[in-house]
Amino acid sequence: MSLYVGDAKKVDAEGSLLKGLNVGKGCIRFSKTTAVADTRIGEFIGRTIALWKQRKDIDC
């Protein structure tokens, strides 16, 4: 499963929210063995929405 989010580094520059996930420039890929509940993807999505509402540039 993949999630397309714009530029992931603009949202999580230090990479702490996406640690352990397979991240491309604008794509976060989850393997079948990834327990989504054990990741911080919810925080990442929340931060992405907050930046988008502030009209910050999060595009690739």
> pLDDT tens digits, residue range 21-45?
999 988 999 999 999 999 999 999 9
Q: How many CA atoms lie within 13 A of 29 on its CB side?
A: 5
Which residue type is seen at 13?
A
Query: 16 and 23 in contact (C-beta within 8 Å)?
Result: no
Average pLDDT, the chain: 94
Considering 2-6, 21-25, 47-51, the range whose residues carry the highest mean pLDDT is 47-51
pTM, whole model, 2 decimals? Answer: 0.88
In DSSP terms, which residues pair with 4 in a beta bridge? 27
| Alpha helical stretches, state H, 1-60 | 8-11, 41-53
